[in-house]
Chain A
Amino acid sequence: MSDHKTMTLTLIVWRQKNANDPGKFETYTAKDITEHHSFLEMLDCVNEDLINSGKEPIVFDHDCREGICGMCSQVINGVPHGGQERTTVCQLHMRKFKDGDTIYIEPWRAKAFPIQKDLVVDRTAYDTIIQSGGYTSCHTGGVPDANATLIPKEVLDYAMDAAECIGCGACAAACPNSSAMLFTSAKVAQLAVLPQGKPEAAARVQAMLNTMQECGFGNCSNHYECQAACPKGINVKFIAKLNREYLKALFK
């Protein structure tokens, strides 16, 4: 732990006033940054400096700052969330950078995620995909006892691996086709293996896949950039599972 050492960094940041503005890169300096600053705290410091010098601070999405809400969304040096394995940008720390570094910061770039301002994009499309079928149609109340249906631990673990998705959008941002396949497949797979989700599995996979396309996301052509970018390590095996579920549904 060396607290005395500080860094100075050059930031090249995407600035865009609103959805209609063409946008451009601006250059800023981040001063007095320690290795213990989180990436967002580094941006907080830059913003305080900008405000104090009469300039508009950089707008970026964030909320929990614990890596779980999926709100933060920045492409850092070309990589969504900055490239540290299983880490969201809010959990990235400045010890991963060194004094004098130049850092490029951009918003998610995908047709289905229009930029609203600076680094903030509209991710409503992910909600639309879930609304098309990412649930079991149970009513509030009137459901059986929780232990009435046993679920083997392997099945449960598989479902949980898929359910860990935080819906941040990094998968689509990383994909050369801007496909939302990893996101969609994680929900399809989770519910397809659980007994509670099985009855609607065929209708669900078709509806969600159609909606994904209608929202303007591309198709999956097996680049697997999504898995590399996913801060929760969601595995591409769920895409294969989605494809199997889709074929099953077609021949139903």
Chain B
Amino acid sequence: MILDGKCPTGPIEKSWDNHRFELKLVNPANKRKYTVIMVGTGLAGGAAAASLGELGYNVMAFCYQDSPRRAHSIAAQGGINAAKNYPSDGDSILRLMYDTIKGGDFRAREADVWRLSQVSNNIIDQCVAQGVPFNRDYAGYLDNRSFGGAQVSRTFYSRGQTGQQLLLGAYSALSRQIKAGTVKMYTRREMLDLVVVDGVAKGITVRNMVTGEIECYAADAVCLATGGYVNVFYLSTNAKGCSVTANWAAAKKGAFFANPCYTQIHPTCIPQAGEYQSKLTLMSESLRNDGRIWVPKKKEDVGKRPDQISDEDRDYYLERKYPSYGNLAPRDISSRSAKEQCDDGRGVGPGGRGVYLDYADSIKRLGENTIRERYGNLFEMYERITDDNAYKTPMRIYPAPHYAMGGLWVDYNLMSNVPGLFVLGEANFSVHGANRLGASALMQGLADGYFVIPYTIGGYLATVKPGTVKVDHPEFKKSKEDVSARNNKFLSIKGKRTVTEFHRELGKIMWNNVGMARSKESLTEALKVIPKIREEFWQNVNVTGTGGEINQQLENAGRVADFLEFGELLTRDALHREESCGGHFRVEHQMPDGEAKRNDADFSYVGAWEFKGNDKEPELHKEPLKFETIHLAVRSYK
């Protein structure tokens, strides 16, 4: 099937304004008759729930944490982009759009990216009105910093905690609506199924994580804002509870999964210290401004202390391979290069999985105080985790899974192919193409939540009669039975291996075979191994406790079971995409200098997969991508 993104036509500058005008409206007095389910209350879902509640819709919002304030958006450090052009350095909506399309290696829709860039400015205004403390200069004006992939300074930030401050802003708006009674908040609920009636999304089934009860909720539209899926790699910078479960439940009910192979591996994370490791911690990319990355030239030297290795015995490999960009080479290239050095046996630290990020030269040049001023909090965090003082000895870093560009397929209205099902934030696939630029995810989440869905959902709801399906409908009954049966199955297996052991095993194969460098061979092998792990899981997992209580093992069993299915789809997508683009790197497709080699003739499309059952091949649907405003070109940062 050829998919239609329903993008507006005509001049891009007017596309969103015209589209908004053409959307049908719901009469203010009728809005409260419509119920909307919002699964997820991070930046995207929190902003959306608050805005829809304020418009007068009857909103039910869900999250798995004990409070909406704890969604993983809270962990974002760096900042949020907007085309304000406050510094007058040549920024514009068009330039932000251009940078985002190019950064995504020409694999995103133009109209969606234009809209994102256009509303980016409203986001900053909105957050300031909420009391978000963005950094300011001494005159009281908002301050900006620069981020990767851009030549202008357009990133707004709150110290090193931008995500936290933006989320608390959305949370405060949401709290106001909860108090006003327009939003009912359901915390510690995990969505386990999407309920579809006659082909239309009409509700969800969740597990109450405190009582264990399986509960059903009906609505006129369902929105998923459930975040990203890179915990499929087990170790990632995501929170422990992040999963693909909500998205996968929707996929199994017919929603197409787009570009699952587009995953971002972030170059500067603290390396794994041991087998017991439970997650990886990101160190802001800004560190690469003043640090030099190296590994020993000789394998014999990897066990030596860094200060015992003389300058001529060090390989500053990024400076060697990419002389013009050096240590500031783009994320994907830096990450891959680090892996190559370690594969070559020249990695440092435990397990040989690390490279040095060395400040000695800049400390000599600028003094320790300047470095402390710029990066003090990061050095502190590094020391808390590693016990190493990075002023005295180089940091050790290694790439880690960080962000999912892929997600459920949505059209321009953020509606999936299942009518009534909308997808927001990291959970959809829409704007980042094959690679996301820094400070753009926060922008997307808030754009979707504050400024897109409040319009587009109205266009849909205006066409449906409210309250037609209630939770006594047979589809809800069936969904509840299916979910209970699956949970009971987990509890009844009583095998010999823990849920975490299976997750680790899956993560290893995903990371080694479907990680930073993928080949036909590695992917084919993964496609053989993953079903075997899955099979063993269903026979040999040990899930303790009962279903009627707080049971973290049961929660995790469900998430890992979903990853074991989804991981296979991700791998299949990576195998089918015979090109390299952005975060998807196929070793067979590279330029002589190691750059990603795109194949626009055959792959300039969104690949959206339809689930057909675990024992059947999924079906691929394509949405061709057209570039009319920004011309297809080889991505180069040299």
User: Which residues of A come within 8 Å of B, CB atoms?
Assistant: 1, 3, 17-18, 34-38, 40-41, 44-45, 48, 51-52, 54-57, 59, 61-66, 68-71, 87, 91, 93, 95, 116-117, 120, 122-124, 126-127, 130-132, 134-141, 143-147, 149-153, 156, 159-160, 163-164, 166-167, 190-191, 194, 196-197
Contact = CB atoms under 8 A, between A and B. Distances in A.
B141 A140 contact: no
Interface footprint category on B? 35 or more
A1 B387 contact: yes
Contacts of A55: 544
Interface stretch (B269-277, B399-407, B522-530, B578-586): B269-277
B137 A190 contact: no
Contacts of B139: 150
A91 B136 CA distance: 30
Contacts of B75: 64, 66, 68-69
Contacts of A70: 69-70
B566 interface: no
Interface string B130-147: 110111111111100000
A56 B545 contact: yes
A144 B134 CA distance: 16
A113 B620 CA distance: 50
B281 interface: yes
Contacts of A93: 384-385, 387
B417 to A, nearest CB: 28
Interface of B: 47, 50-51, 54, 65-70, 72, 74-75, 84, 86, 122, 124-131, 133-142, 158-159, 161, 164-165, 168, 171-173, 175-176, 178-179, 185, 187, 210, 239-241, 273-274, 276-279, 281, 350, 384-388, 450-451, 454, 498, 500-501, 542, 544-545, 549-550, 552-553
A64 B72 contact: yes
7 contacts: A48-B498, A63-B241, A71-B66, A143-B129, A150-B136, A150-B139, A196-B128
B125 A146 contact: yes
Nearest to A35: B387
A117 B125 CA distance: 42
A197 B274 CA distance: 47
Contacts of A159: 131, 133
Contacts of A127: 67-69, 175, 178, 185, 187
Contacts of A152: 136, 140
B278 A40 contact: yes
B133 A130 contact: no
A60 B440 CA distance: 33
B550 A63 contact: no
A137 B384 contact: no
A163 B133 CA distance: 8
B136 A116 contact: no
B69 A190 contact: no
Contacts of A51: 498, 542, 544, 553
A120 B75 CA distance: 22
Contact of B552 (A37, A57, A95): A57
A64 B277 CA distance: 14
A166 B171 CA distance: 12
Nearest to A122: B66
Contacts of A136: 129-131, 172
Contacts of B140: 150-153, 156
B529 to A, nearest CB: 23
Contact of B133 (A37, A122, A138, A194): A194
A85 B241 CA distance: 27
Given A68-B74, A127-B68, 8 more contacts: A64-B239, A120-B550, A135-B131, A136-B131, A153-B137, A156-B134, A156-B136, A190-B131
Q: Which of B131, B450, B454 counts the most A-chain CB atoms under 10 A from its CB?
A: B131
B624 to A, nearest CB: 34
Contact of B187 (A65, A124, A146, A194): A124
A163 B86 CA distance: 25
B450 A140 contact: yes
Interface centre among A45, A54, A70, A132 (most CB of B within 10 A): A70
A242 B280 CA distance: 38
A103 B70 CA distance: 28
Contacts of B179: 131-132
A115 to B, nearest CB: 11
B128 A146 contact: yes
Contacts of B127: 146
Contacts of A61: 66
Contacts of B545: 56
Contacts of B130: 135-136, 138, 196
Contacts of B68: 127
Contact of A37 (B125, B276, B384): B276
B65 A69 contact: yes
Contacts of B276: 37, 41, 44-45
B133 A160 contact: yes
B161 A59 contact: no
Given A57-B544, A66-B281, A150 B168 contact: no
A201 B536 CA distance: 59
Given A40-B278, A130-B175, A146-B125, A69 B165 contact: no
Nearest to B272: A36
Contacts of B187: 124, 127
A125 to B, nearest CB: 10
A54 B173 CA distance: 46
A127 B134 CA distance: 23
Nearest to B84: A146
Contacts of B133: 156, 159-160, 163, 190, 194
A137 B281 contact: no
Nearest to A48: B498
